[in-house]
């Protein structure tokens, strides 16, 4: 009798886990960390081999809003590509120069969705959706906020998708398959482009160049977490609606192709990849009814991350909030944690938090 397909797929995952266990057993923790980081960089697609081109920033628009200025800025990234981003400048900065936060949107209609705008750039009058305009929440904390237009969304879609009826129609699939067949990944390109946002922020005189955080939701959580893992210029990271186990999230249902990094399970599960951020700060958000990244798996990932951070000598630098919502930004606990990280510049006690915020538990730069 032939093996059922489901059993065959599970056997592949089990074999990969056995390979990882053998590799971890054969190396000391520091060797293991270096090996995983180097292998992960290669799996993302060799973007570190590219020489940085000049940023060539260009201001596209500038608008005074309630308590902050909203700029639309475009920079060069790699191979002739240019990326637009919103840069939100607080009227009352938390410090001078100010800490900065890179805000990475998830699937939807792009960077406009997290800065209170409609797809056409007009001011939004309706509900903010799962993103909850978190870029605005961050600028109102007094940070300079950069909200990049991730490749495949908004203005950075293929022409056929821009012509579609829905502004949320993305170009992830076609971009991903082209990149995969040429030895690259969409995740890797987005991570690399986000490292260029760090370059841009570090050139601004109003930004404290050593005090830059990153926050992202869903696919933007992937970008936030993996950028922080690969680029140690990121001081701390908030990953919302993403931190989990590949086996029980990405492989448990059909996900967007931008999530898939060939061979990654042979090298590491998601917690070990996010663990590359240690000993820098990491905060996770996970909703109880998140249908894409189940909270039970998020709790497993968090437990593994606690072990990784303890082994790195920083058990207090990782936290999580598990709340009674879905696949969405939670916010308040993460914003409080960021204030401590960016303004007090100390870590806070580790442990997960309930919805009321009460604690229940105690690269080298990519691109060279």
Query: The domain that contains 342 carries what CATH number?
Result: 3.40.50.1820
Whether residue 143 lies inside any domain: the answer is yes
The total number of structural domains in the chain stands at 1
Q: pTM for this one?
A: 0.93
Whether residue 51 lies inside any domain: the answer is yes
Whether residue 63 lies inside any domain: the answer is yes
Whether residue 149 lies inside any domain: the answer is yes
Q: How far apart are the first and last CA of the chain?
A: 52
Summarised one tens digit per residue, pLDDT across range 32-79 is: 999 999 999 999 987 765 567 899 999 999 999 999 999 999 999 998
Burial level of 215, CB count in 10 A (0-12/13-18/19+)? buried
Whether residue 249 lies inside any domain: the answer is yes
Whether residue 366 lies inside any domain: the answer is no
Whether residue 368 lies inside any domain: the answer is no
Residue 61 lies in domain: 5-353
Q: How far is Cα 166 from Cα 163, in angstroms, rounded to an integer?
A: 8
pLDDT digit string (tens) for the chain, length 368 residues: 577 999 999 999 999 999 899 988 888 888 999 999 999 999 998 776 556 789 999 999 999 999 999 999 999 999 899 999 999 999 999 999 999 999 999 999 999 999 999 999 999 988 999 999 999 999 999 999 999 999 999 999 999 999 999 999 999 999 999 999 999 999 999 999 999 999 999 999 999 999 999 999 999 999 999 999 999 999 999 999 999 999 999 999 999 999 999 999 999 999 999 999 999 999 999 999 999 999 999 999 999 999 999 999 999 999 999 999 999 999 999 999 999 999 986 444 444 545 544 343 332 333 33
Residue tagged 């939100």 (tokens): 88
Q: How far is Cα 342 from Cα 280, in angstroms, rounded to an integer?
A: 12
Residue 75's closest CA among 212, 194, 207, 222?
194
Whether residue 277 lies inside any domain: the answer is yes
Residue by residue, DSSP assigns 238-284 as EEES--S-TTTTTTTS---GGG--TTHHHH--HHHHHGGGTTSEEEE
């Amino acid at each position: 009798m032939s093996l059922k397909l489901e059993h065959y797929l599970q056997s592949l995952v089990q074999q990969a886990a056995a390979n990882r266990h053998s590799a971890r057993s054969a190396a000391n923790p520091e060797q293991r960390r270096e090996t995983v980081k180097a292998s992960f960089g290669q799996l993302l697609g060799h973007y570190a081999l590219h020489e940085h081109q000049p940023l060539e920033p260009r201001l596209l628009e500038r608008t005074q809003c309630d308590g902050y200025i909203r700029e639309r800025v475009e920079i060069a990234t790699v191979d002739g590509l240019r990326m637009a981003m919103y840069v939100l400048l607080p009227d009352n900065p938390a410090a001078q120069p100010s800490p900065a936060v890179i805000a990475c949107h998830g699937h939807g209609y792009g960077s406009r969705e997290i800065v209170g705008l409609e797809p056409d750039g007009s001011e939004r009058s309706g509900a903010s959706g799962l993103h909850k305009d978190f870029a605005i929440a961050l600028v109102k904390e007094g940070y300079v906020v950069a909200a990049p237009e991730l490749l495949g969304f908004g203005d950075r879609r293929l022409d056929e998708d821009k012509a579609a009826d829905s502004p949320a129609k993305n170009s992830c699939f076609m971009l991903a398959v082209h990149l995969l067949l040429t030895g690259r990944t969409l995740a890797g390109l987005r991570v690399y482009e986000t490292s260029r946002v760090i370059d841009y922020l570090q050139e601004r005189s109003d930004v404290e160049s050593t005090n830059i955080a990153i926050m992202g939701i869903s696919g933007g959580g992937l970008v936030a977490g993996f950028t922080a893992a690969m680029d140690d210029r990121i001081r701390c990271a908030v990953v919302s609606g993403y931190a989990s186990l590949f086996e029980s999230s990405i492989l448990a249902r059909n996900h967007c192709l931008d999530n898939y990094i060939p061979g990654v399970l042979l090298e590491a599960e998601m917690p070990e990849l996010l663990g590359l951020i240690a000993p820098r700060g990491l905060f996770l958000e996970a909703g109880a009814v998140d249908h894409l990244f189940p909270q039970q798996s998020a709790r497993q990932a968090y437990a593994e991350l606690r072990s990784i951070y303890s082994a790195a000598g920083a058990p207090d630098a990782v936290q999580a909030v598990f709340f009674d919502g879905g696949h969405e930004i939670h916010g308040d606990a993460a914003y409080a944690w960021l204030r401590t990280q960016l303004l007090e510049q100390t870590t806070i006690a580790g442990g997960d938090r309930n919805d009321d915020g009460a604690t229940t538990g105690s690269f080298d730069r990519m691109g060279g």
